[in-house]
Amino acid sequence: MTFLGVDTSVTGRRWLGLSPEEDRAAEAIRQATALPFAVTNVLARRGVSPEAAPGFLAPTLRDLMPDPMVLRDMEPAATRFLQAVKQRQRIAVFADYDVDGGSSAALLLCWLREMGLQATLYIPDRIDEGYGPNVPAMQALGAKHDLIICVDCGTLSHEPIAAAGCDVIVLDHHLGGETLPDCVAVVNPNRQDETGDLSQLCAAGVVFMMLVDANRRLRAEGVKGPDLMGYLDLVALATVADVAPLTGVNRALVRTGLSVMAKRGRPGLAALADVSRLTHAPNSHTLGFLFGPRVNAGGRIGQADLGARLLATDNPAEAALIAARLEELNVERRAIEAAVRAEAIAQAEARGVDGPLVWAAGDGWHPGVVGIAAARLKEAYNRPSVVIGIENGIGKGSARSVTGVDLGAAIHRVAAEGLLEKGGGHKMAAGLTVRVEKLDAAMARLADLLARQGAGEGGPADLQIDGMLEPEGATPELIAQIEAAGPFGASAPAPRFAFASQRVSDVRQIGSGHLKITFGSGATKLTGMAFGAWEGPLGQALQAGVGERFHLAGRVEVDTWGGRQRVQLRLEDAAKA
């Protein structure tokens, strides 16, 4: 049944409320807990029972943290790692160039620094070296180090790891193949011989688990290790930025990490907050849309190790300088990405966006922004999407998936069948390399595999509405209670509420194409913000309807600009009342 009778909104979507079963579950939670309906509706949609509600709203890492030893190869990994520490051996950290890789590297670098060791950081150049370990880099590192730790990469790197000439540990989460590299340990919850119980962990989560075990072993020997609670800000950043599901232990890791981050104890993250002009305590949106893109900017179009260096530094002055440089690169990245995105959308629509896969490929498209463009295509068409940049007959691309479709496994299979030079990743995101002459065949095969998983069966994504609010009832106190059901992100979308039949009294453009409205009656007026929506269907409908009544839908949040708390609607959709 549609919510507020909205079958087709101004953006062409249908609004759906809770199912009858969810409604009954929400009422049961309300009777057992006396929580506001806005909170019980969110809990019901998450499948939380009345008995579990109090614990869900106050999760503890102690209760949800698994024993690190449940992961295969954790024992040899932690043993060799501590051996290198005790013997003061030379350690190198080889990391991926994204946020998860940088955070994973920073976890190790900071832990080792507290133990009195300085490790070497190596992050490959995205364009010159590509993703993961390569033979020349591993040989060079192996010649000068006793141990190389590969983080957020390495599971499929048989030849480069064999060429290292020294011990190698892999701490990763990308989908594994039938065989593993010959090394000390491959700790990866997505190995084919794993149970899958911890498949939601990002690489930083895997690194954190090894450090937990290392600390436990040190404690048994009467040695105090670094305080790992203070490291959870890095784990939270990586988990959200890598679009890992915010369920189970990940939810507790991110929730605790956000509390740590709010204290501004890590110079790099404090500097990021400053250049992002953050005016409130960080939340998952902050990590995914403000911090993540800036940390990624170095790996995308600049110096690959900037993000990891920012996260690892203990020097506020150095942090400020790196953050400022990343801010410049992020502005440059936006301009490059906008051009690629426009071309990709035009090409994808010309090819057709109703099938199980939306894809585009172009000569000279910067490989550092194709992942962002793929994410935009996925959001626009509710389809798994691939965007590929071609250079000298070789295409390098990134892919993004929708909930319920395992894109990484499909790309891994296409690579195994020889249509891709290489490819892999995880359920929601993956990368690939393809020869131009095989491009059409590879995309056709990928589309076929995705169709078998149900991709492409739906139209534009329905808008899930968690309940209805009145402007006077949307208070900072209520929003704090709703936030207790978070953090929100992948597999735990932020709740969305509707404001029914609201008179829109003001519509204006803010900044570069952003939409700001004022709505409500009487003494309580709220603002709504929709970024980049001024020229789109939402902006056009509201501009034409100033003074008229609309149903409005979006996410409620507290804006603390100027030191005052104001409730604001992050507007996503509207329908004529």
Confidence band of 243 (pLDDT split at 50, 70, 90): confident
**DSSP letter assigned to residue 302:** S
What is the reported pLDDT for 337? 92
Confidence band of 72 (pLDDT split at 50, 70, 90): very high
Beta bridge partners of 567: 558
pLDDT tens-place string over residues 145-171: 999 999 999 999 999 999 999 999 999
Give helix 316-351 / helix 267-275 axis angle, nearest 10°: 60
Confidence band of 561 (pLDDT split at 50, 70, 90): low
Cβ-contact 202, 239 below 8 angstroms: yes
How far is Cα 9 from Cα 459, in angstroms, rounded to an integer? 14
CB proximity list for 349: less than 8 A, separation 6 or greater = none
Q: What is the mean pLDDT of the chain?
A: 94
pLDDT tens-place string over residues 288-299: 999 999 999 998
Q: Is the pLDDT of residue 508 over 80?
A: yes
What is the reported pLDDT for 460? 61
| Sequence-ordered alpha helix ranges (H) in 115-229 | 135-144, 158-162, 203-220
CB atoms within 10 A of CB 126: 21
How far is Cα 58 from Cα 323, in angstroms, rounded to an integer? 33
First-to-last alpha carbon distance for the chain, in angstroms, is 17
Count Cα neighbours of 514 within 13 Å in the Cβ-side half-sphere.
11
Beta strand ranges found along 125-193 (DSSP E): 147-151, 167-171, 185-187
pLDDT tens-place string over residues 37-55: 999 999 999 999 999 999 9
What is the reported pLDDT for 532? 84
Cβ-contact 123, 95 below 8 angstroms: yes
pLDDT tens-place string over residues 186-219: 999 999 999 999 999 999 999 999 999 999 999 9
What is the reported pLDDT for 286? 93
Q: Is the pLDDT of residue 1 over 80?
A: no
pLDDT tens-place string over residues 417-474: 999 999 988 888 899 999 999 999 999 999 999 999 988 776 566 899 999 999 999 9
Length of the chain: 577
What is the reported pLDDT for 457? 73
How far is Cα 181 from Cα 160, in angstroms, rounded to an integer? 9
What is the reported pLDDT for 127? 82
Please give the average per-residue pLDDT across 113-130, as a whole number: 94
| Sequence-ordered alpha helix ranges (H) in 453-534 | 476-483
What the block records as the tokens of 446 is: 């990928």
How far is Cα 558 from Cα 536, in angstroms, rounded to an integer? 25
Q: What is the pTM of this model?
A: 0.88
**DSSP letter assigned to residue 288:** I
Please give the average per-residue pLDDT across 173-186, as a whole number: 95
Q: Is the pLDDT of residue 563 over 90?
A: no
